[in-house]
Amino acid sequence: MTDAPTELPVQSRGRLTRLGLRTFRNHGETMLRLDGRHVCLFGANGAGKTNLLEAVSMLSPGRGLRGAEMSELAQAGGDGGWAISADLSEDGVSRRLNVEFSVDERGRSKRAVKIDGAPTPQNQLAEILRVLWITPSMDRVFAGPAGDRRRFFDRQVMAHFPAHGAAAAQYDKAMRQRNAMLEQGRIDAAWAEAVEARMAQAGAAMASYRWQACNAMQDAIDARPDGLFPKAELSIDGAFEAMAARGLDVGAIEGEIAERLRSGRSRDAGAGRTLEGVHRSDLAVVHRPKGLPAAQCSTGEQKALLMGLILANGQALIGRDFAPNTLLLLDEAAAHLDSHRRAALYDELSDLGGQAWLTGTDQSLFEAFGTRAEMFEVTDGAVRPV
């Protein structure tokens, strides 16, 4: 078979040119050398394809596309640790990213991040690389509980505003403290005020980030051509995000959250939990061509909506001049699309300008990519270029 010429995307955005794994999931020692094109991984179920995508997702802040505990990522039978290294190339400049998890002899664990060999906090990864993903578990996100949509949307928000993740963690911690106080039925006013102040500060930031990200995503959706992935109408069902939409600044929203928490203590004490806040907000999605809420659409329509939304968010990130590099991870996405939608997806990914990583059970799923992607066969934790 003759080698086809390499066709690189036109837009210049950073791409991974190397990915190395050590004792990560079912990969003992795995090394992928890449030329910058999109990456297609195929093989049987359980071969380790999604594990490679998960490794890439760990190059961004958080717990990756499965949301797993760090200890769960270690290869069975090993020392409990794992390591990921990658080279990111942009305009001829290469950056080295390293993420390592280790467990010492006392059982204490640590995740260490290095950029170009220098130790750094993990949130600094977001200054270099943003990662978006679709997994099979998201297929029914529009029809599932509000918590699933909130988590999905918050991940999209974090791609725009990495500080959103820290604000969410601060909010959740303060809310747990407040809920514990409510359950005990003994409310210390000074302590409650201090905890609620932290909730209000973090919640106001979250509401602002969510509204700004929703706006950016809707603009990108509107700018997309009509095609096989229908456009969506996005909105956030939440009182405090609505305040951000009306133009209230973060300080005003913070004050409103604090006042509602203070005045709602007796009500919340009766329920044993906090009944109002940004933790109750929901993402509302409407299938624009049909005018139907996404939850009322067919499963196929929901999957197409989800794909269109991720593509639009990728465009919203990549289209920003100051944006860091963006990777899209699509786990088993091609298998659920007909041949026309697969071809349309690959065309959009190639026009997007970022680097996409896709998985599937058979190489034939990626034929429409042609020379725009590299193919790798994955078998029992081993990877072979095709």
The string of DSSP letters for 128-159 reads: TEEEEEE-GGGTTTTTS-HHHHHHHHHHHHHH
In this structure, which topology does domain 140-305 adopt according to CATH? Glutathione S-transferase Yfyf (Class Pi); Chain A, domain 2 (1.20.1050)
Say if residue 168's pLDDT is above 50.
yes
Q: What local confidence, expressed as pLDDT, does residue 1 receive?
A: 29
232 close to 294: Cβ distance less than 8 angstroms: yes
Q: Of 54-68, 259-273, 313-327, where does mean pLDDT reach its minimum? A: 313-327
Radius of gyration in angstroms for the set of CA atoms belonging to the chain, rounded to a whole number: 22
> Under CATH, domain 1-128+324-386 is a member of which superfamily?
P-loop containing nucleotide triphosphate hydrolases (3.40.50.300)
Residue 245 contacts residue 341 (beta carbons within 8 Å)? no
Instruction: Give the strand pairing for 82-90 and 373-379.
Output: unpaired
Q: Across all residues in the chain, what is the average pLDDT?
A: 92
Quote the Cα angle for 299-155-215, to 5°: 85
Residue 263 clears pLDDT 60, i.e. is over it: yes
* SS3 call for 123: helix
What pLDDT does residue 181 have? 93
Is residue 2 predicted with pLDDT exceeding 50?
A: no
Going edge to edge, which strands form the sheet with 355-360?
Answer: 129-134, 325-330, 355-360, 38-42, 373-379, 382-385
Q: Domain limits of the chain?
A: 1-128+324-386, 140-305
Query: What is the pLDDT confidence band of residue 221, given thresholds at 50, 70 and 90?
Result: very high
- Strands 129-134 and 325-330, by their bridges, are parallel
**What average pLDDT does this structure show over 55-59?**
97
8, pLDDT greater than 90: no
Q: Does the structure show a pLDDT above 70 at 5?
A: no
Determine if residue 235 is left, alpha or beta; phi over 0 gives left, psi from -120 to 50 gives alpha, anything else beta: beta
Q: Which of these ranges, 194-203, 219-228, 264-273, 366-375, has the smallest mean pLDDT?
A: 219-228
The whole-model pTM stands at: 0.90
Which whole-number Å values give the CA distances from 343 to 92, 331, 335, 348, 365, in the listed order? 30, 16, 12, 9, 10
DSSP class of residue 281 equals -
Q: What share of the chain is helix, strand, coil (3-state, %, to 5)?
A: 45, 25, 30
Lowest mean pLDDT among 6-15, 117-126, 171-180: 6-15
Counted residue by residue, the chain has a size of 386
Residue 7, pLDDT > 80, answer no
